[in-house]
Structure 1
């Protein structure tokens, strides 16, 4: 496995897309952010050099289907394309994977991790090594999404300004899912605040203590919640509840998440 070779191949692959487009640029930066988050997680877990490299390779390829989704639909919305399944199709059914990694010994792990990385809930994986990498990419994806939500323009993500987001309400169904400590189902999101709450609810689907450690070290909960000015009084009150709920959840989860990785 040659990560530098894979990165160079990825750069050549991206030449077919308009890298001046804000959404394409966001996904390119996100890809490398997930590679770095995968490295941080696996190094902190004390995994083998091979698993550290494999996790980074999965991070490099996990969103490869997004670029075609954006070219065709100019949208990240899940009802336009299942980007994870499309990524697996072009990598493994059309053979693109051999352009990134010459050996096939890791194919089953890579395939499983990519196709499962955006599932609402992770399930159906019995092999411990596949499960390890499926969990790692999901954590790494969410870690870099924290950075995305802090650094990238709200308009690029939600097509309105931060002020407009903060004026909107949180739908009762979305608030109830949050109170049950669940990720937010895409089809229940109706307002821009519903989308923002769904990004915060990612924390309910973190797998590893080391990931929670990184979340706390970067003060992601406080910083993400402070990004939006909540001018809607009810929304402002609910966001105080959400902040306290998340802080308590993360604090408790740091003591209970997976410590035996394989």
Structure 2
């Protein structure tokens, strides 16, 4: 019981320090506000997934801390560039450097240094196109977990946030484009879309959906299916071209079948 209380207190302290850190930024800015809400959404998603997986309390609390700090680099990116685009800043790498660089900002949030390497790797790699080169089993677990939690809360983001904040145009503007061939090829290959392959706003929108093929745990898919996230996200946009609507319907059906298969095969 003492161990559980200590872990809970550690997260509460980290959260208080995070709130102090946020005072350096304009909380009224739409993009800053989005990322603050997203951060706490990821914390909740990480805890939900971890508990469904039956992880022990130490790993649950560790997942929450990583969720709290995973996007710390985003706030400076928004302040400097008013953008989420990877071409302006690699926010995950920057966040890891910010926390674990010479000043060791991580000590503001986590006093115990036993998990520094694990936390650093999980944050640094959470937005990589593919998760590679992690050999430690527990580090890999948490790297996968934060990626799933991040994508899970992004489902909520894509339903609740204004399209102008997300893509700079309204829903109609997103739906007017044509899906680029390379983007569609990635979707049919059940792969995430390369940022460089996106041309139109609808390419960006479909890439947000295709990333859900890169989910690590069936428990995450269970939550997504419970909320019917994929279909609801797709239906948010009115697609101007019948060909685009047809492709979105195909993608929705194939992705839901894929998710259901992963859930059925859950060990």
Give the TM-score normalised by the residue count of structure 2: 0.95
Partner residue, 2:172: 163
Q: Secondary structure at the match of 1:16?
A: coil
Distance 2:108 2:259 in 1: 40
Give a deviation string over 1:159-216, Cα, whole Å, max 9, x none.
0000011111111110011101100001111100100111111111000011010010
Matches within 5 A, 1:110-259: 110-256=119-265, 259=267
Q: Could you say what the CA RMSD is over the residues aligned between the two structures, in angstroms?
A: 0.9
Name stretches of at least 5 consecutive residues in structure 2 with no aligned partner: 1-6
Distance 2:230 2:112 in 1: 40
Question: CA offset at residue 147 of structure 1?
Answer: 0.2
Partner residue, 1:33: 41
Give a deviation string over 1:90-144, Cα, whole Å, max 9, x none.
1001311000011100111101100110000111111100000000000000000
Q: Secondary structure at the match of 1:109?
A: helix
Distance 1:55 1:238 in 2: 36
Question: CA offset at residue 238 of structure 1?
Answer: 1.0
Partner residue, 2:27: 19
Question: CA offset at residue 243 of structure 1?
Answer: 1.0
Question: CA offset at residue 242 of structure 1?
Answer: 1.0
Q: In terms of mean alpha carbon deviation, does 6-15 or 227-236 score higher?
A: 227-236
Q: Secondary structure at the match of 2:23?
A: helix
Question: CA offset at residue 256 of structure 1?
Answer: 3.3
Question: CA offset at residue 41 of structure 1?
Answer: 0.5
Distance 1:200 1:242 in 2: 9
Question: CA offset at residue 250 of structure 1?
Answer: 0.8
Q: Structure 1 residue 9 and structure 2 residue 17: aligned?
A: yes
Of 96, 106, 114, which aligns to 1:88? Answer: 96
Distance 1:198 1:66 in 2: 20
Question: CA offset at residue 248 of structure 1?
Answer: 1.2
Name stretches of at least 5 consecutive residues in structure 1 with no aligned partner: none
After TM superposition, the runs of 4+ consecutive aligned structure 1 residues lying more than 3 A away are none
Partner residue, 1:43: 51
Q: Structure 1 residue 100 and structure 2 residue 109: aligned?
A: yes
